[in-house]
Structures are given as structure tokens and as C-alpha cells.
Chains A and B, each alone.
Chain A
Amino acid sequence: MAIKDYLRQRFFPHMWCPGCGHGTVLNSLLRAVEELGIEKNDIVMTSGIGCSARISGYVDFHSLHSLHGRALAFATGVKLSQPKLKLLVPMGDGDALAIGGNHFIHAARRNIDITAIVMNNKIYGMTGGQYSPLSGVGKKATTAPYLTIDNDFDVVELAKAAGATFVARTTTFHATEATDFLKKAIMHKGFSVVEILSQCPTHYGRKNKEGDAPQMVANYDKITARLGSKKLEENPALIGRGIFVDRQAPEYCEEYDKIIEYAMKGRK
């Protein structure tokens, strides 16, 4: 099947700004699904609210455009009732880790078989450029005209500590890598997290003088380095890209099935 067959083409051109990284994340994700050959009807995408969350309207899978921060809660409900379906949950950084931070850590803790994709543009794009828990110190935002003083979360470390069994990071510059990590995350049994650095030229880029979309994309190559690479070894301050965690652990739906069996022992 061609990539376009996974799109609801009637909603194109999409609503994202020129050069918005979220479109590239969609592009990489569709390639992952296509290369894995998964049937559209076997995929459910749940999303919250944000520019990022609009992604669920563009894919021709089952989709739920739900509440801000709650995409993982909806996904958990769907997965528990239909464990055979693949759950894809793309979220903005605010959606995933500000209002949705609790859902994020608890989904990771349970190791439920869901793929979370954090489309990290370090800002609240949809509402006009407020800073997020991923903006970091010294950034400009509508709510921080004199620079932010808040430390940021490291999505990888947070996901790891909370119990996610697959954790990877990449960027929109590294689109082939993104497709590769997404494929592995989707096939992984358990809670998988793929953080993709995704440019918001309209708010973050403009306020922080990071240039236009191509400049922001090129910058992702400069500020990141592959795990195990010489570049990272020589510049440990760079942001690591790669697969940080890939391990097996009991999966929530399977454990739930066992409990049902145990509770029903001897009865029908």
C-alpha cells in the first residue's frame, strides 16, 4: 500500500504551519506503518489536544481525538478492551508531560502495550507559544518574555525511570532513523516511547531566533549525536539519539488476563 492510502486525503492540505515538524513526524510514522504492513483496521490512534494532536484526524486508522493530556488514558481503555489492536499515541510535549504527565508515568509503570510518540517542539504551539516542561532554562516564550527559569524534563530519563520498556529519541532531521525507531517501538511488546524533536518555526523558532524551518531542522543535526558515536563521546553535552532502553517485562494486558483466569478458576 502507498503512504497516501493511510491518509485521509480529504483533509489536506493539513492545518500545520509551513515547515512544522509535526508533518514530518506524520510522514515518518506512515512509512513505519507501511513498511511493517499493518492493516489500517488493526491500528487505533488516540490523541489529546494541541497542534500535534491534530495528527489523529489525518490518518486513516481508527482514531480518537480526545482531551488534553488524556490520550494515554483513552488508549489504555481501548487496549484493555481490544488487546489485539495496535495503539499509537502521538502527543505534544505539553500534552504528554505537562497536563498529561501523570498518565505518561503511570502508563510506563504498567508497561501496557502502547506506543507513545512525544512530538517535542519545546513549546505550546496551538495556544500561542507558552513554555512547556520541555522548554528548558533560558528560553523565550509568550509566558516568559524575560527567559524561562524552569528546568526541563529529560523524556528519555523520565520514561526509563517510570518503567517504559522501549525508549528512543530522534529528530525530524533524521527521518529515516525516526521510521526505524517507530517500527521497532510499534513491534515492541510493552510501553514504548519515541521522542522526536520537532520544530515549531512559528512560535519557538521565531521567539528564540532559531531561524526558519530548514535552519531549525539542520540544527537538530548539530545539537544531537548517535549513541556510541565518536561525536557524542567527544561532545557529551550533545543530546543523544538512539535506542536507550529495549527490554522485556510482563505486559499489563497479559497480566490482566492472568488475573481474570485466576479469579474465574473453576467457573465459566
Chain B
Amino acid sequence: MAKKKLKELVINRDWCKGCGICVAFCPKKVLELDKEDKSVAVRPQDCICCKLCEIRCPDLAIEVVIEPDKEK
């Protein structure tokens, strides 16, 4: 199985309330809270597209957009 490649981490700043859940549980430490207490992807290159941030976000503020599989 080919490794999933991240296209974009879409974070809705209007919906994010800065709870830090996505930051705390990201296995690759991709996310941090910025000065305004909003989640930002500081190391997107390390993202393994596990979507743990997206599925646990209580504010439905994160979407992990994966690069479409080119072989298909």
C-alpha cells in the first residue's frame, strides 16, 4: 500500500477554540497553538495523515486533505 501524502491541513480558524486536543494527540507533533490560541500546522511535512486530529476535534475545525492516489 502506498503511503498517504498530505495535500493540506485545513484548519478553520473561525471554528477552532484552541482546546489543544489535536496538538496533544498528534503522533508526529505537526500541530501547535499560535498566539491567538488557534491550531496551526507547523510541521506539515511530518504528517502521516492518520486523521487523529480531525476525528477528535470537538469543533470540527480540522480537515486532513490527502493527495489523490496518482496510480488510480
Contacts and interface: CB of A to CB of B under 8 A. Distances in A.
Interface residues of A, number: 31
A212 interface: yes
B42 interface: no
A12 B21 contact: no
A7 B19 contact: no
A20 B58 contact: yes
**Majority SS at the chain A contact face:** helix
A7 B56 contact: no
Interface string A188-225: 00000000000001000000000011100110000000
B55 A28 contact: yes
Nearest to B37: A18
Contacts of A7: 60
A19 B60 contact: no
**Majority SS at the chain B contact face:** loop
A217 B53 CA distance: 13
Interface in B16-72: 17-21, 23-25, 52, 55-60
Contact of B57 (A17, A23, A176, A218): A23
Given A12-B60, A23-B57, A27-B56, 18 more contacts: A13-B15, A14-B59, A16-B58, A16-B59, A17-B17, A19-B21, A20-B58, A22-B58, A31-B55, A172-B58, A179-B55, A213-B20, A213-B21, A214-B19, A214-B24, A217-B21, A217-B25, A217-B56
Interface of B: 14-15, 17-21, 23-25, 52, 55-60
